[in-house]
């Protein structure tokens, strides 16, 4: 799903509040059948529903929307939500939700939901057994804590991927990256959306802690690190009664479970992960080694239930050497084009090389050129044409980019890189080593569309004059060298097509 990027908190809330998340067909059909079976209890129906986190969120939102103008408290558990809605309205809601094949659910959305399922597994294993009367609040709150990011992953998956790459993998400032990508702090956006949806109070408590009460976390962590002396820890808490009372709140289980699940995505021995383990260890009054063993066991259980092909589950890293880390996919070379894609690419290039030219107009030609570039593996493509005065570049074709980019124009003289490329045919390849140098010399609106460290720019000539600029990448990560070679050959084919088309027109 591609949507314009909002620029304010209000615009983000309006967009994400309108999202109806897709439900994988197997889960959809299972729940639909259960709702129509009078022998099923609400508990059984809830068990079926939890296989699809998006469906759980939809039901909870609907139940809370029904009671939003009354004095009724928001529903804290799925069973209560089902009871409030009733089976008929639940069936009506299900009928309105998009039902898709599992492979059609965006991978980023499936990954975010997998993290939430892992968090719920950690919450159940670490806390629910010790607080049996509160197990539902613990379970559903932990599952739904990250649900605001599910809507974001559906509308703007590329922004979440770039956030992870830059903040987690490259260590950039989260505040700076979020200001550039979202215009607002991500945690603030999540909290506002959670309040709009009237999510369980424990979810809101977790966001308030992260946004307003981080001092509690800092103080508790300072005590938690003294894990070798349990008595000294207890005495430190006894000396701070408000801190002890805050730590003991059951609502903190939601934050702890999600902290463990999110941190484990990057590795089991990172400083971030160790901090959450210390905090959970203090909360449970358990030795750190024992807590770590439990966390690993619950991760393995989660993987058995929730792991999916093509998604990352941190339990996979438990068999790695401890100093290994998951590499973000944006830092790995793109896969080479499939044999089928290369067949299509050769066909597109052959169309470009036909003489006399088969193209009726420039739009016809550039459409074929764009399709050839996509076929050779380019994920984001922009073709720009120079005007008659050679002072402006206007977008002619787009591939894998927002439609709003079609209206962009660039003044060549305002960019030294564009000036160089438009003075003579040339190709520039950006990579992590030269990215900062060249990016500073490109129009910000152009560079913003091609986020990442890797980019190809190639100017093409016709009758001795540069007339076109091709900009392409493979999602911003390292290129497949096969695709780079095919990109260069495609550029040659486009130049020949331009010459043939011009001669025909003449």
Residues near 147 by beta carbon (within 8 Å), at least 6 away in sequence: 53, 57, 116, 194, 197, 199
The SS3 call for residue 340 is helix
Q: What does the pLDDT read at residue 472?
A: 96
Euclidean distance between CA atoms 343 and 351, whole angstroms: 13
pLDDT, mean of residues 73-101: 91
- What are the counts of helices (DSSP H) followed by strands (DSSP E) for the chain? 24, 8
Let me know: does 377 contact 394? Beta carbons within 8 Å: no
HEC states along 196-236? HCCCCHHHHHHHHHHHHCHHHHHHHHHHHCCCCCHHHHHHH
Asked whether the predicted pLDDT for residue 328 surpasses 80, the reply is no
Euclidean distance between CA atoms 233 and 229, whole angstroms: 6
Euclidean distance between CA atoms 486 and 470, whole angstroms: 13
Asked whether the predicted pLDDT for residue 352 surpasses 70, the reply is yes
pLDDT digits (tens, 9 = 90+) for 220-240: 999 999 877 788 888 989 898
Euclidean distance between CA atoms 228 and 237, whole angstroms: 15
pLDDT digits (tens, 9 = 90+) for 376-387: 999 999 999 999
Residue 259 sits at the vertex; the CA angle it makes with 258 and 262, to the nearest 5 degrees, is 80
Asked whether the predicted pLDDT for residue 1 surpasses 50, the reply is no
pLDDT, mean of residues 33-39: 90
The SS3 call for residue 8 is coil
pLDDT, mean of residues 379-400: 93
Nearest of 126, 123, 125 to residue 139 by alpha carbon: 123
Asked whether the predicted pLDDT for residue 184 surpasses 70, the reply is yes
Asked whether the predicted pLDDT for residue 190 surpasses 90, the reply is yes
pLDDT, mean of residues 70-78: 78
339-505 is classed in which CATH architecture?
2-Layer Sandwich (3.30)
Q: Give the distance, in angstroms, between the CA of residue 454 and the centroid of all CA atoms in the same chain.
A: 19
pLDDT digits (tens, 9 = 90+) for 275-285: 999 999 999 99
* DSSP secondary structure, 428-444, as one string: EEE-TTTHHHHHTTS-H
Let me know: does 397 contact 369? Beta carbons within 8 Å: yes
Euclidean distance between CA atoms 167 and 146, whole angstroms: 18
Overall size of the chain counted in residues: 506
Tokens of 487: 């990109």
Euclidean distance between CA atoms 163 and 176, whole angstroms: 10
Beta-carbon count within 10 A of 68 CB: 12
Q: Give the distance, in angstroms, between the CA of residue 314 and the centroid of all CA atoms in the same chain.
A: 17
pLDDT, mean of residues 80-92: 92
Name 99's bridge partners: 23
Tokens of 3: 């949507």
Indicate the Cα dihedral angle 35, 41, 46, 52, nearest 10°.
-40
Element (H, E) at 395: strand 392-399
**What radius of gyration do the chain's Cα atoms show?**
27
Tokens of 243: 């801190």
Euclidean distance between CA atoms 478 and 14, whole angstroms: 35
Beta-carbon count within 10 A of 445 CB: 11
Q: Give the distance, in angstroms, between the CA of residue 296 and the centroid of all CA atoms in the same chain.
A: 25
Let me know: does 145 contact 258? Beta carbons within 8 Å: yes
pLDDT, mean of residues 94-116: 92
Query: How far is residue 63 from each of residues 36, 59, 76, 177, 266, measured CA to CA in Å?
Result: 19, 6, 10, 35, 35
Least confident window among 15-19, 66-70, 153-157: 66-70
Asked whether the predicted pLDDT for residue 241 surpasses 50, the reply is yes
Q: Where are the domains of the chain?
A: 9-319, 339-505
Nearest of 230, 181, 202, 88 to residue 134 by alpha carbon: 202
Query: How far is residue 414 from each of residues 445, 446, 459, measured CA to CA in Å?
Result: 12, 12, 17
CATH 1.10.3210.10 fits 9-319, yes or no: yes
Euclidean distance between CA atoms 178 and 404, whole angstroms: 21
């Amino acid at each position: 799903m591609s949507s314009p990027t909002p620029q304010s908190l209000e615009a983000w809330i309006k967009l994400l509040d309108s999202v109806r998340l897709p439900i994988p067909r197997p889960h959809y059909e299972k729940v639909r059948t259960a709702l129509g079976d009078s022998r099923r209890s609400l508990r059984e129906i809830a068990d079926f529903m939890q296989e699809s986190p998006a469906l759980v969120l939809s039901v909870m939102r609907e139940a809370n929307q029904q009671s939003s103008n009354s004095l009724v408290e928001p529903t804290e558990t799925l069973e209560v939500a089902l009871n409030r809605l009733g089976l008929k309205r639940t069936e009506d809601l299900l009928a309105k939700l998009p039902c898709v094949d599992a492979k059609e659910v965006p991978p980023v959305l499936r990954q975010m939901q997998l993290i939430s399922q892992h968090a719920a597994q950690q919450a159940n294993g670490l806390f629910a057994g010790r607080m049996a009367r509160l197990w539902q609040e613990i379970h559903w709150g932990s599952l739904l804590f990250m649900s605001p990011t599910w809507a974001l992953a559906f509308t703007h998956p590329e922004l979440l991927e770039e956030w992870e790459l830059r903040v987690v993998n490259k260590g950039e400032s989260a505040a700076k990256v979020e200001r550039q990508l979202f215009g607002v702090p991500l945690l603030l956006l999540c909290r506002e959306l959670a309040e709009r949806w009237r999510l369980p109070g424990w979810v809101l408590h977790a966001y308030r802690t992260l946004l307003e009460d981080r001092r509690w976390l800092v103080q508790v962590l300072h005590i938690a690190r003294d894990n070798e002396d349990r008595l000294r820890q207890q005495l430190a808490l006894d000396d701070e009664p408000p801190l002890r009372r805050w730590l003991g709140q059951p609502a903190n289980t939601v934050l702890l479970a999600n902290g463990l699940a999110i941190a484990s995505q990057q590795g089991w021995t990172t400083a971030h992960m160790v901090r959450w383990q210390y905090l959970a260890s203090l909360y449970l009054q358990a030795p750190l080694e024992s807590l770590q063993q439990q966390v690993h066991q619950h991760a393995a259980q989660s993987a058995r239930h929730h792991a999916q092909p093509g998604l990352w589950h941190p339990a996979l890293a438990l068999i790695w050497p401890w100093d290994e880390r998951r590499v973000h996919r944006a830092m790995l070379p793109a896969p080479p084009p499939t044999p089928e894609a290369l067949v299509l690419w050769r066909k597109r290039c052959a169309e470009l090389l036909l003489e006399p030219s088969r193209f009726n107009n420039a739009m016809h030609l550039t459409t074929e050129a764009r399709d050839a570039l996509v076929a050779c593996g380019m994920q984001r493509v922009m073709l720009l044409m120079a005007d008659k005065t050679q002072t402006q570049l206007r977008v002619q074709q787009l591939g894998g980019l927002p439609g709003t980019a079609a209206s962009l124009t660039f003044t060549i003289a305002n960019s030294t890189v564009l000036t160089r490329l438009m003075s003579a045919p040339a190709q520039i390849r950006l990579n992590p080593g030269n990215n900062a140098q060249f990016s500073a010399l490109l129009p910000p609106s152009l560079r913003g569309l091609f986020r990442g460290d890797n980019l190809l720019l190639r100017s093409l000539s016709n009758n001795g004059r540069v007339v076109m600029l091709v900009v392409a990448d493979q999602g911003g990560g390292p290129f497949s060298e096969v695709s780079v070679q095919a990109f260069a050959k495609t550029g040659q084919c486009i130049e020949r097509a331009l010459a043939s088309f011009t001669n025909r027109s003449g």
